[in-house]
Amino acid sequence: MNRPHTCFARRKLCLGLMAAALVPAVSSASTEPWPSKPIRFIVPYAPGGLPDTVARALSQQLTQRLGKSVVVDNRPGANGVVAAQALKSSPADGYTFLVTDGSMMSINPVIYKNLAYEPKRDFVPVSLAARSPLFLAVNARVPADSLASFLALAKSKPGTLNYGSSGIGSSHQLSMEALKAALKLDIKHIPFRGSGQSVPALIGDQVQVVFAALPSLSGFVKSGQVKILGTNSLHRSSLAPQIPAISEVVPGYDYAVTVGVLAAAGTPDAVVKKMADAVAEAVKVPEVISQFHVAGIEPVGGSSGEYAKAISNEAARYAEALKLAHVEAE
């Protein structure tokens, strides 16, 4: 009479034992050490640019340090939007990161009305990997051999000098506009499509002044066609310590290009910390430092919190510079 009940009880017991047997497997999967598979670094520009250079140098070191391959995935287009969407559409599991310059965080949100991403909402800062200072350079014909003499010349002859930039809203333009505003200088702006055009224009005397990265200027300095007078980083650069920082004349002046690593919102804090620690170690390797210096890059490294603070400060500085440059949102 009790046989059906007994069979039911046995079946229930068996199911319970099966479920209990599955628990360790599920638990071990959820606590699987990171990383357990390849990691992807998304770069919002074509190969060869500043963030790409940083990403590739880091990928080699991190592959060795983390024991899993770190691959670089170039996703150029729409001023970083394509790359941002690629990160947003990926799982926030610590296997996809964005390696980009600061413009995606500090300039794009100001100049684009309907940006497809919101930095604070969609991204988590991981580590400020590197900085690339820009250098104030003048044509050899300009009668100034120091930062002080150039500033005196610009003040004494308002409206007679032209400066070239890498385009409207570029860090090159904003560096000069911030300098102009701080010292009340009148220097006319001529925008170009990148340093590949603005530096030749400097050599050809189409413009008398530019801000540009050191590698694009160094050959012309050696040939006597260009004089480097200052740098836009907060402190003198290790790339050229003899060149004064503009901040020595304008306190707090800092417009060096930054490159950092970001994760998707929701990425586990433990993974963010492990990656930040790994990046900080990787940028200290002599081989990486050498690669960076050839490309005009300074290694930084640091925690997520430090990078978040750097992003916030940079966004405030660039927002003010964009206002000074009268760059309107599109």
**Three-class SS of the chain:** CCHHHHHHHHHHHHHHHHHHHHHHHHHHHHCCCCCCCCEEEEECCCCCCHHHHHHHHHHHHHHHHHCCCEEEEECCCHHHHHHHHHHHCCCCCCCEEEEEECHHHHCHHHHCCCCCCCHHHHEEEEEEEEEECEEEEEECCCCCCCHHHHHHHHHHCCCCEEEEECCCCCHHHHHHHHHHHHHCCCEEEEECCCHHHHHHHHHCCCCCEEEEEHHHHHHHHHCCCEEEEEECCCCCCCCCCCCCEHHHCCCCCCCCEEEEEEEECCCCHHHHHHHHHHHHHHCCCHHHHHHHHHCCCEECCCCHHHHHHHHHHHHHHHHHHHHHCCCCCC
Which pLDDT belongs to residue 31? 64
Is CATH 3.30.2130.10 what the domain over 134-248 is classified as, yes or no?
no
Answer whether residue 227 shows pLDDT above 70: yes
Using pLDDT thresholds of 50, 70 and 90, give the confidence band for residue 11.
low
| pLDDT 10s digits, 135-192 | 999 999 999 999 999 999 999 999 999 999 999 999 999 999 999 999 999 999 999 9
What is the domain partition of the chain in residue ranges?
A: 39-132+256-324, 134-248
| pLDDT 10s digits, 37-83 | 999 999 999 999 999 999 999 999 999 999 999 999 999 999 899 99
| pLDDT 10s digits, 279-297 | 999 999 999 999 999 999 9
Mean pLDDT score of the chain? 91
Which pLDDT belongs to residue 79? 87
Is the fold of 39-132+256-324 the same as that of 134-248? yes
Answer whether residue 257 shows pLDDT above 60: yes
Answer whether residue 29 shows pLDDT above 70: no
| pLDDT 10s digits, 177-204 | 999 999 999 999 999 999 999 999 999 9
pTM score of the predicted model: 0.88
Domain at 39-132+256-324, CATH class: alpha beta
